[in-house]
Structure 1
Amino acid sequence: MGKKTLIFILIFGIIFLTAILAGANVYRTAMSQKESGHPEAAALAKEKADLKEVDSVETFVGKEKQYIVEGKNQKGEKMYVWVPADKKQKTIFKKASDGISSRQAAKAVENGGLVSDLKQVHLAREGNVLLWEVSYLNKDGQYSLSYVDFINGKIHKTITP
């Protein structure tokens, strides 16, 4: 190999390695921000809702940031706890059986003739209204969100950009 080729490969390798390390750092930083507050939310949910175990914690950011904690109470019943990031708001908890399931929420949106391709269903909250956030591609191929009331299963609102 010529001297110029070796120098080119060495410089390219250094640039490539730097790009990978920078990308990994950005990813790690973004994921740590996404999960910050999860341990505190889980501890608060255990205290307020008398959870025996926590199965998962997700972050929902709508009008207000919420941590959605899923777990089981002392009787082994599945529970959902909406823990607001703003300590002035109140923590709300419900048995999963007190509302509709994620599948029922998705079905409510599908029955409305809106869905072409269902993406995800997550718990959400707006003020004191407990919701399921259903994300999907609509019939026109646009990414859309519908919010379905956790208690009665009615579509609260739909957002399509």
Structure 2
Amino acid sequence: MGKKTLIFILIFGIIFLTALLAGANVYRTAMDQKESGHEQAAETAKQEAGLKQVDSVETFVGKEKQYIVTGTDKKGGKMYVWVPADKKQKTIYKKAADGITGRQASKAVQDEGLVSELKEVHLAREGNVLLWEVTYLNKDGQYSLSYVDFINGKIHKNITP
């Protein structure tokens, strides 16, 4: 192996390792930001909504950043708590039985004939309107979102880029 080849391999290896470490750092930072606030949101949900147990916390970023906490109350009933990242807004909580399910929300969107392939269904919030965010590929293969009202099951709005 010649000197030039060895130098090339060494330089390429250093560049590759640097790029790999930088990418890992960006990924870790992004995941830390996504999960920051989850513990505080869980505590807020326990205090304000009376949750006995927290099952999950998800981050929703729409017009405002929200933490969606799923858990059970003292009677064992399933509850959802929408905890805003902005402390000026109020926390809203509902029993799961007070609204529609994620499956019903996705069915409402599918019944409109919009869905080619269903991707995900998550709770969301816009102002004081509690929603299900249904993510799917539409008939044209475009990534699309529909927001379905948590209480009445009507489609709030559709977004296709």
- Partner of residue 57, structure 1: 57
- Partner of residue 9, structure 1: 9
Q: Which runs of 5+ in 1 are unaligned?
A: none
Amino acid at match of 1:109: V
CA–CA distance in structure 2, aligned partners of residues 3 and 141 of structure 1? 51
| Runs of 4+ residues over 2 Å off in structure 1 | none
How many corresponding residue pairs?
161
C-alpha deviation, 1:86, in angstroms: 1.2
Asked if residue 26 in structure 1 is aligned to residue 46 in structure 2, the reply is no
- CA deviation digits over 1:33-71, x for unaligned, max 9? 111111111100010111111111111111111110011
- Partner of residue 159, structure 1: 159
Amino acid at match of 2:44: L
- CA deviation digits over 1:86-128, x for unaligned, max 9? 1111101111111111111000000010001111110001111
CA–CA distance in structure 1, aligned partners of residues 47 and 40 of structure 2? 11
- Partner of residue 46, structure 1: 46
C-alpha deviation, 1:12, in angstroms: 1.0
- Partner of residue 114, structure 2: 114
- Partner of residue 133, structure 1: 133
Identity %: 83
- Partner of residue 79, structure 2: 79
- Partner of residue 37, structure 2: 37
- Partner of residue 92, structure 1: 92
In the superposition, the TM-score normalised over structure 1's length comes to: 0.97
In the superposition, the TM-score normalised over structure 2's length comes to: 0.97
- Partner of residue 105, structure 1: 105
Amino acid at match of 2:82: W
Q: Which runs of 5+ in 2 are unaligned?
A: none
CA–CA distance in structure 1, aligned partners of residues 46 and 109 of structure 2? 32
CA–CA distance in structure 1, aligned partners of residues 101 and 40 of structure 2? 26
CA–CA distance in structure 2, aligned partners of residues 7 and 85 of structure 1? 51
CA–CA distance in structure 1, aligned partners of residues 156 and 7 of structure 2? 62
SS in 1 for 2:42: helix
CA–CA distance in structure 2, aligned partners of residues 87 and 109 of structure 1? 32
CA–CA distance in structure 2, aligned partners of residues 86 and 22 of structure 1? 31
C-alpha deviation, 1:142, in angstroms: 1.4
